[in-house]
Structure 1
Amino acid sequence: MATSTITSIAYNAINGNGEGDEGDEGDNDRMRQNPTHLPEILLHIGRHLSQGELTSCVRVSHVWHYYLEPLLWSNVSLTHPPLSSHNSSNSSNNNDRNRHHDQYRGMDHSAHEASVVKNIRHLRSLDIKHHSPFLRHQLIPFLQNRLFSLSADEYNSAVRQILEQNAQSLHTFVCRNVTSRQRQHHSLPQPAHEATELWQTLLSVTFLSELTLSVACVYTSDLDVFFQICERLEVLSLENGSVASLSPHMMDPLTNLRRLLLHKVSVSPLRELDFIAKCPNLEHLAWRPLDSTPLNPFMFHFVTLAPDRLARITSLDVSQSDLVDKQLAMILTSGLQLRRLIAVHSPFGTYCADQVVCSMADTLEELDIRQCHLMVQNPMIQTMLMTCKRLRYFRADEISVNDMSKNTFFSNPASAWSSPRFARPGSSNAAGSPMAGGGMVVPVPTSAPLSSMRMLGKAIQGEWQWACLELEELDVTFVGSNLQQHLLSAGLALVYSQLVQLTELRRLEYGWKSDSDERRLPLNSGPTFGSVENAIGLSSSRGSPPYSTASSPSSTSSSSSSSPSRSPGGSGTQKSPHFRAGLRRLWKLTQLRVFDVEKVQDPDFSVGDVRWIGKRWEGLRRIQGRLSMDPVTELAIQELVQKEFPHITHIHDN
């Protein structure tokens, strides 16, 4: 920001303050000497200041300072320095990046380092992303049993020294790569002497409870030490490493371990199963085996665990697994009482969805089924949203508007279960029928939760509404497939009637597309609650007033019968219509924090739309993605957000 602009804002703010607050004599003089003490200045340049400079701009009482300073300096991250200008090309993108680096380079980094040393007594968490002489000579000598958490990009002598000096205080250690030369675990594994040194050092950390390692190796000679460390841990995460054996036959159960993640660890699957069996109090399990690993042994072992152990597992991550839908459903029927199910890029399909509806509807709080090709426009998505009343986080790829409509979806009530799968009360498919996948038998739930059956009954009667009214995060694309224009308008109205009920929503990532143009409409491309003519873009005037609360559903039905079916852009174009009133129907989403429109193609938000968003959604803090393809409109939107809504961060690609 130019100096003249800063001075102008400072003088305007000072003159507007009059005589100033009582008890703050000399504050105006102080502001004139240092304009950064003004909140108006700080909002504009705060993100470009170092932590020390930002702290110096905040003027608080001594009581607040006593508590605020430890809070600000309890967590420190040492990042990479800016790139030099001669290492960048002359392309336009790199020129923009160079300007950012020039601004960053002009900061006083030595002052920031001095502030870190000055406040080192408050340091509790350290994240090392860059190793510099400052770390080794000025910071490490003062780190004596101060840290509770340590994270590092690589393991080296400096990290080992910090571990040794904080052996009596450290609880969490995260190393994103234990090899300093970025070697691949399958081609150049960690040398034996380095691995032994790492495990011996970790053994000396007395109170270590959370351990996350990537590309780590456990050789046969280190197994005893490794298992001793595991006895203390509550959280263990091993990624892209190798272990000689995970079969601790002679050791006691790992009763402290609550969370376990084994991600592509080079070890026999049977040994991993033995290790899992040694964790009786496991609550979260994430297992992502190497490619082409046979998983039938895992399924067999999993469903034969003691029921009390299965009841403790409330979080399961089966992302990127090689199971088939029936096999994965077999795991879900084994007695788990899941609150969290993550199945990204997995074979999660209709069989698994059946089990979610029948046995998890009263407990499930988070469901992530993105990149699951079997669930793209699957009718069971709507069924799960209707039955899982405790759901708070839901992420999927696509949901068909046709399936959301009670008139089309329930024209055949059996369409939710298009083929016989798991036995239900009164069905001919008896419990214990054989299934594919090793010739194993599928355990069948005796009955669905009573509340879930009531929800399904209401749906069949025509009350087709989502039950997850406490949803806090929604990520889904609505698809209007094979629908005529008047049905598509009704589908849009149905989408908004569902979204408007989610008053607890914190994050919304919304998309829309249809078979006709394969476009994802922006969120404001919704219908008017009181007029279907507006819903299909047939308003007589572009400047027509937005949706009024005086409109009634009756007017919707009456106008829909007389409205013609034609594209608002004419027969020769597929451009998505712009519906201001559709956006304004969501005025109840006052708790929204993040509005993500990155999936929207050809967004056409106006400046008025963004102003309405900023005023109505009082809790909004971030907008993700472009809001308009018109560069003039996009620039005007950016200026509007900066001037009128400085608390909102607009992140987008230029």
Structure 2
Amino acid sequence: MPNPTLLPEILILVGRFLCHDDIAACVLVSRAWQSAMQPLLWTRVPLVDEQTFTEDPILFPHPDAVLLNIYRVLSLDLSRVADPARLQALTPLLQNQLSELSVAHYSTDVDQILAQNRATLRSFTCSSSRLSHQMQQMAGFQSFLPRHEATAFWTRMTSLERLDSLDLTATTVYDEHLEIFFTICGRLRSLSLKRGSIVSMHPPTKEPFHKMRRLELSGIANAVHSQLQFITQCPNLEHLAWTSTQATPLIALLVHITTQPELELRQITSIDFTDSLMSDKDLATILSCLPNLRRLIVPWSLFGELCFEAISGKHVFAIRHGATPKRDTIPISVEAFSYRLSKVHVTWWISRAPWDIQERKIDFTLGTNTLTKTATFSPTASTASHGRAFQIESSLWIPLVTTVTAKWCSRRL
């Protein structure tokens, strides 16, 4: 029998798909394994300041080890580094090798790293994570760069030849940067803008952003209709995450896609409408306009009979939902996985008082065209208000969704 510690060829081929912990374990097997797997261990490196080192040298490597293996690093996370000396030590060594870079804020050292990796860098994240939550609230929508420095930043972004993913937090696009900003958008596959504002989200030309596949707009100060105009400039979107500072962004989306069908976002497979609130009817209308939907996150919208009907016939494999409904609405929490509905399991809680909570369950199975109850349920005085909801649930037909777990709460003080 061959030596079990000899490195199998298959491990070399699949090593880059292993998680960081598995690669770290492989390095400890033998010298042969260490020699083959160590380059993969240094592909992505998160750094912290020296005074914040933990006991895990693999997760946060020692500065000397970083400098020794810096030529192997392809993805570098500097978002937790606040010491300028650490950046200054690394900057001269990073030359045309990085494909991903994450930082907490923009600086001259970061600009130099970008300049030295402009031919290879594909993804850049500026998280502004050094600001505490309280400081972020005080700052409001202030830019992470002063206005007089923002021009250099956007010019640097245009010089990154292979950039296709941009993630910015607490930034502002001024008048003089609009043309550069829209030019960059035309090159990106993924754009994430959080807590900021753009002078205008209406591109000067009608040329759509055909390459854009993923778009996240969270807490942008622009008017809803302006954000919506920007969204519809991305006809090939596959994932849309939209959280507005205003109350009803989904209503605007509803009106837009129903009155201008030529702008329907038919390619979208994933939707994240966190913090948005819509009725069962309005959300169902939106869902019916998204024929390729695969993933839906609507934590606070009312997901009921009409929404279930809207997704019937679609291969929805993940629905996450968690809002408190009105009396005559059904599920507040729905999760759907796989492709063919076989069973619906419903759990609900009855709360007569904060200290008196009871849990009830009911199961449904799929008949020929309807859901048939397999567990009996007799409404009591405290749950009679939900009888109509159960009646609606038992008559649903969802032929192409596999397993659904639905939860809702009824509270009676």
Structure 2 length as normaliser, TM-score? 0.73
How far, CA to CA, are the matches of 1:230 and 1:73 in structure 2?
31
Quick one: which of 86, 92, 99 aligns to 1:135?
A: 86
How does 1:128-207 map onto structure 2 within 5 Å? 128=78, 129-132=80-83, 135-177=86-128, 183-184=136-137, 185-186=139-140, 188-190=142-144, 191-207=146-162
**359-368 or 231-240: bigger deviation:** 359-368
Task: Please report how far the alpha carbon of residue 166 of structure 1 lies from its aligned counterpart in structure 2 after TM superposition.
Answer: 0.9
How far, CA to CA, are the matches of 2:31 and 2:42 in structure 1?
16
How does 1:329-348 map onto structure 2 within 5 Å? 329-344=284-299, 346-348=300-302
1:567-598 deviation per Cα after TM superposition (whole angstroms, max 9, x unaligned): xxxxxxxxxxxxxxxxxxxxxxxxxxxxxxxx
Task: Please report how far the alpha carbon of residue 274 of structure 1 lies from its aligned counterpart in structure 2 after TM superposition.
Answer: 1.3
1:69 aligns to 2:24 (yes or no):
no
How far, CA to CA, are the matches of 2:311 and 2:61 in structure 1?
58
Equivalent pair of 1:307/1:335 in contact (CA under 8 Å): no
3-state DSSP of counterpart to 2:208:
coil
Match of 2:199 in 1: 244
1:540-583 deviation per Cα after TM superposition (whole angstroms, max 9, x unaligned): xxxxxxxxxxxxxxxxxxxxxxxxxxxxxxxxxxxxxxxxxxxx
3-state DSSP of counterpart to 1:271:
helix
How does 1:283-362 map onto structure 2 within 5 Å? 283-292=238-247, 295-306=250-261, 309-344=264-299, 346-350=300-304, 353-360=305-312, 362=314
How does 1:510-525 map onto structure 2 within 5 Å? none
How does 1:443-522 map onto structure 2 within 5 Å? 451=399, 467-468=402-403
Task: Please report how far the alpha carbon of residue 163 of structure 1 lies from its aligned counterpart in structure 2 after TM superposition.
Answer: 1.3
Task: Please report how far the alpha carbon of residue 267 of structure 1 lies from its aligned counterpart in structure 2 after TM superposition.
Answer: 0.7
Which amino acid letter does the alignment assign opposite residue 174 of structure 1? T
Match of 2:30 in 1: 59
Quick one: which of 67, 86, 111 aligns to 1:117?
A: 67
Which amino acid letter does the alignment assign opposite residue 233 of structure 1? L
Equivalent pair of 1:248/1:274 in contact (CA under 8 Å): no
Match of 2:317 in 1: 365
Task: Please report how far the alpha carbon of residue 302 of structure 1 lies from its aligned counterpart in structure 2 after TM superposition.
Answer: 2.6
Which amino acid letter does the alignment assign opposite residue 276 of structure 1? I
Equivalent pair of 1:227/1:248 in contact (CA under 8 Å): yes
Which amino acid letter does the alignment assign opposite residue 177 of structure 1? S
How far, CA to CA, are the matches of 2:377 and 2:324 in structure 1?
21
Q: 1:415 to 1:154 in 2, by over 3 A?
A: same
Where structure 1 has 5 or more consecutive residues not aligned to the other structure, the ranges are: 1-20, 25-46, 84-100, 425-447, 453-465, 482-514, 517-654
How far, CA to CA, are the matches of 2:26 and 2:85 in structure 1?
21
How far, CA to CA, are the matches of 1:81 and 1:246 in structure 2?
42
3-state DSSP of counterpart to 1:232:
coil
State the aligned residue count. Answer: 363
Task: Please report how far the alpha carbon of residue 416 of structure 1 lies from its aligned counterpart in structure 2 after TM superposition.
Answer: 3.7
How far, CA to CA, are the matches of 1:58 and 1:386 in structure 2?
38
3-state DSSP of counterpart to 1:261:
strand
- Identity across the alignment (%): 29
1:341-362 deviation per Cα after TM superposition (whole angstroms, max 9, x unaligned): 0112x22232xx5323443454
3-state DSSP of counterpart to 1:237:
strand
1:230 aligns to 2:162 (yes or no):
no
Equivalent pair of 2:119/2:161 in contact (CA under 8 Å): yes
Match of 1:487 in 2: none
Where structure 2 has 5 or more consecutive residues not aligned to the other structure, the ranges are: 6-20, 350-358, 365-372, 380-386
Q: 1:314 to 1:297 in 2, by over 3 A?
A: same
Equivalent pair of 2:101/2:124 in contact (CA under 8 Å): yes
How far, CA to CA, are the matches of 2:87 and 2:338 in structure 1?
56
3-state DSSP of counterpart to 2:266:
helix
Equivalent pair of 1:220/1:244 in contact (CA under 8 Å): yes
1:19-51 deviation per Cα after TM superposition (whole angstroms, max 9, x unaligned): xx9899xxxxxxxxxxxxxxxxxxxxxx9xxx8
Which amino acid letter does the alignment assign opposite residue 76 of structure 1? V
How far, CA to CA, are the matches of 1:286 and 1:23 in structure 2?
47
How far, CA to CA, are the matches of 2:279 and 2:388 in structure 1?
27
Q: 1:187 to 1:263 in 2, by over 3 A?
A: closer
Which amino acid letter does the alignment assign opposite residue 153 of structure 2? L
1:76-126 deviation per Cα after TM superposition (whole angstroms, max 9, x unaligned): 11124446xxxxxxxxxxxxxxxxx8x849x89998222211111210000
Q: 1:55 to 1:193 in 2, by over 3 A?
A: farther
3-state DSSP of counterpart to 1:260:
strand
Task: Please report how far the alpha carbon of residue 180 of structure 1 lies from its aligned counterpart in structure 2 after TM superposition.
Answer: 7.1
Structure 1 length as normaliser, TM-score? 0.48
1:125-165 deviation per Cα after TM superposition (whole angstroms, max 9, x unaligned): 00011133553333211101110111112222222221111
3-state DSSP of counterpart to 1:278:
coil
**Bigger fraction of residues in strand:** 2
How far, CA to CA, are the matches of 1:175 and 1:477 in structure 2?
38
Match of 1:528 in 2: none
Match of 1:408 in 2: 376
Task: Please report how far the alpha carbon of residue 246 of structure 1 lies from its aligned counterpart in structure 2 after TM superposition.
Answer: 0.5
Which amino acid letter does the alignment assign opposite residue 71 of structure 2? R
1:280 aligns to 2:235 (yes or no):
yes
Between Structure 1 and Structure 2, whose CA radius of gyration is higher?
Answer: 1
Q: 1:104 to 1:355 in 2, by over 3 A?
A: closer
Q: With CA pairs under 8 Å and 6+ residues apart, which has the higher RCO, 1 or 2? A: 2
Equivalent pair of 1:357/1:388 in contact (CA under 8 Å): no
Match of 1:3 in 2: none
Equivalent pair of 1:149/1:170 in contact (CA under 8 Å): yes
Match of 1:491 in 2: none
Which amino acid letter does the alignment assign opposite residue 417 of structure 1? I
Which amino acid letter does the alignment assign opposite residue 60 of structure 1? R
Match of 1:492 in 2: none
Match of 1:544 in 2: none
Equivalent pair of 1:203/1:229 in contact (CA under 8 Å): yes
**Bigger fraction of residues in helix:** 1
1:295-352 deviation per Cα after TM superposition (whole angstroms, max 9, x unaligned): 53322113345468533111111110143343222212224331000112x22232xx
How far, CA to CA, are the matches of 1:414 and 1:259 in structure 2?
36
Task: Please report how far the alpha carbon of residue 183 of structure 1 lies from its aligned counterpart in structure 2 after TM superposition.
Answer: 4.9
How far, CA to CA, are the matches of 2:334 and 2:46 in structure 1?
45
How far, CA to CA, are the matches of 1:271 and 1:213 in structure 2?
19
3-state DSSP of counterpart to 1:408:
coil
Equivalent pair of 1:236/1:259 in contact (CA under 8 Å): yes
Task: Please report how far the alpha carbon of residue 467 of structure 1 lies from its aligned counterpart in structure 2 after TM superposition.
Answer: 3.7
How far, CA to CA, are the matches of 1:383 and 1:356 in structure 2?
10
Match of 2:384 in 1: none
Calculate the aligned-residue CA RMSD, in Å: 4.4
Task: Please report how far the alpha carbon of residue 69 of structure 1 lies from its aligned counterpart in structure 2 after TM superposition.
Answer: 1.4
How does 1:90-109 map onto structure 2 within 5 Å? 104=55
Q: 1:382 to 1:135 in 2, by over 3 A?
A: closer
